[in-house]
């Protein structure tokens, strides 16, 4: 396989992230590793959204739903394991668990199902309707979790011990980072493969010209629905990891701000570029950390940067460095 520009850029950025963490480990700076883990998880959520937004042109302002569902999949399963109470006893007994692989599987399946259901409703519309409706569905889940007392309601749920993965000590920052980084690398690889696949070609055609797609006998609705579902599943996995990073879940994971932040990861880095969300999430965490130390009002600066990017640098950071994407394949 020959490396094109996008893949090369992806490898460079991933290597930079990895070396930062290895350097932090060598110099004994676990907090930097935690920041890098945070960035990797945000990047994963962003890659999920990029499947829908970048490849498919679906401007979803509701991806917090999937992030939150992934988070609560972890929170609910782990809290039951923590208190040794089963989730349900009828019709079958379901116990809680603190095994990460099971939690991931539940997170991915439940967020994919939610994305399928929400997509089936929202993808009947397009443009501004789609934006407003995805935002509204996010709010629905937010209020639902806020009002549901069984799992902490407004206050959220604390999980006291990080969940386990066979053979790893997940409480060691670098080992947990390794898990997140591995998922990020897989998601990036998935994105690049899908981008060049028949499905990716079809999806980007659905974004650019629906009439053309129909004229070759392909129904754009189903293509988008499949992409939206895949997108929700990846973002849901990120949510489960984020919950484990913080050992805490709360309705804030479902909030419109979270949806907005996931979009920002994608845009800061460069929409539709495989590595865009990784660059964007890295920049976001960096800004949050450095400016957050200087001023409580760092989001004013974030707002200004975002505004500048939208008005003057539409390809995001990756676009500034690499220029316009080429037709690939």
Q: What values do phi and psi take at 210, rounded to 5?
A: -65, -40
User: Tokens 């999920």 identify what position?
Assistant: 48
The reply on whether position 121 binds another protein by CB under 8 A is yes
In angstroms, how far is the first alpha carbon of the chain from the final one? Answer: 11
Binding segment toward another protein, per CB under 8 A, in 94-102, 154-162, 176-184, 299-307 = 299-307
Q: What are residue 94's DSSP bridge partners?
A: 88
Cβ atoms 72, 249 nearer than 8 A: yes
The reply on whether position 290 binds another protein by CB under 8 A is no
Smaller CB separation from another protein, 42 or 165: 42
Which is nearest to 199 in space by CA: 228, 230, 223, 235? Answer: 223
Cβ-based neighbours of 302, under 8 Å, separated by 6 or more: 264, 284, 287, 288, 291
Binding segment toward another protein, per CB under 8 A, in 63-71, 132-140, 233-241, 244-252 = 132-140
Shortest Å distance, C-beta 159 to another protein:
22
Smaller CB separation from another protein, 132 or 174: 132
Binding segment toward another protein, per CB under 8 A, in 35-43, 73-81, 146-154, 278-286 = 146-154
Cα-Cα-Cα-Cα dihedral of 189, 191, 193, 195, to 10°? Answer: -150
Shortest Å distance, C-beta 275 to another protein:
18
Candidate list 8, 85, 101, 143; residue touching another protein; CB under 8 A: 143
Site for another protein in 204-263 (CB under 8 A): 204-205, 208-209, 211-219, 223, 226, 256, 260, 263
Site for another protein in 19-48 (CB under 8 A): none
Cβ-based neighbours of 50, under 8 Å, separated by 6 or more: 191, 231, 266, 271, 272, 274, 276, 277
The reply on whether position 53 binds another protein by CB under 8 A is yes
**DSSP conformation class of 55:** I
Shortest Å distance, C-beta 125 to another protein:
5
The reply on whether position 300 binds another protein by CB under 8 A is yes
The reply on whether position 122 binds another protein by CB under 8 A is yes
Binding segment toward another protein, per CB under 8 A, in 23-31, 53-61, 63-71, 235-243 = 53-61
Q: Is 314 helix (H, G, I), strand (E, B) or coil?
A: coil
The reply on whether position 286 binds another protein by CB under 8 A is no
Smaller CB separation from another protein, 47 or 264: 264
The reply on whether position 125 binds another protein by CB under 8 A is yes
Alpha carbon 184 to its chain centroid, in Å, reads 10
Site for another protein in 150-209 (CB under 8 A): 150, 193-194, 196-202, 204-205, 208-209
Cβ-based neighbours of 220, under 8 Å, separated by 6 or more: 206, 210, 213, 214
Query: CA–CA separation, 123 vs 113, rounded Å?
Result: 15
Shortest Å distance, C-beta 155 to another protein:
14
């Amino acid at each position: 396989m020959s490396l094109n520009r996008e893949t090369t850029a992806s490898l460079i950025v991933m290597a930079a992230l990895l070396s930062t963490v290895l350097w932090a480990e060598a110099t004994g700076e676990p907090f930097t590793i935690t920041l890098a883990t945070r960035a990797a998880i945000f990047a994963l959520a962003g890659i999920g959204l990029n499947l829908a937004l970048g490849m498919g042109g679906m401007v979803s302002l509701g991806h917090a739903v999937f992030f939150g569902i992934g988070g609560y999949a972890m929170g609910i399963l782990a809290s039951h394991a923590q208190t040794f109470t089963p989730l349900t006893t009828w019709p079958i007994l379901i116990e809680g668990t603190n095994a990460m692989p099971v939690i991931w599987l539940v997170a991915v399946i439940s967020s994919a199902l939610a994305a399928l259901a929400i997509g089936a409703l929202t993808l009947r519309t397009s443009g501004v309707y789609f934006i407003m409706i995805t935002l509204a569905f996010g709010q629905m889940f937010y209020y639902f979790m806020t009002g549901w007392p069984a799992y902490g309601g407004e206050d959220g749920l604390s999980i006291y011990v990080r969940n386990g993965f066979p053979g790893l000590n997940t409480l060691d920052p670098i080992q947990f980072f390794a898990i997140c980084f591995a998922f990020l690398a897989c998601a990036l690889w998935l994105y690049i493969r899908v981008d060049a696949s028949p499905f990716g070609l079809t999806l980007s055609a659905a974004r650019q010209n629906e009439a053309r797609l129909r004229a070759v006998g392909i129904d754009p609705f189903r293509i988008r629905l499949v992409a939206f579902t895949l997108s929700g599943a990846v973002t849901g996995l990120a949510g489960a990891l984020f919950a484990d990073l913080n050992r805490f879940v709360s309705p804030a994971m479902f909030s419109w701000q979270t949806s907005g932040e996931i979009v920002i990861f994608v845009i800061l880095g460069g929409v539709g570029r495989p590595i865009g969300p990784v660059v964007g999430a890295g920049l976001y965490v960096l800004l949050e950390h450095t400016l957050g130390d200087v001023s409580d009002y760092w989001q004013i600066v974030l707002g200004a940067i975002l505004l500048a990017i939208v008005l003057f640098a539409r390809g995001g950071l990756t676009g500034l460095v690499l220029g316009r994407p080429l037709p690939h394949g």
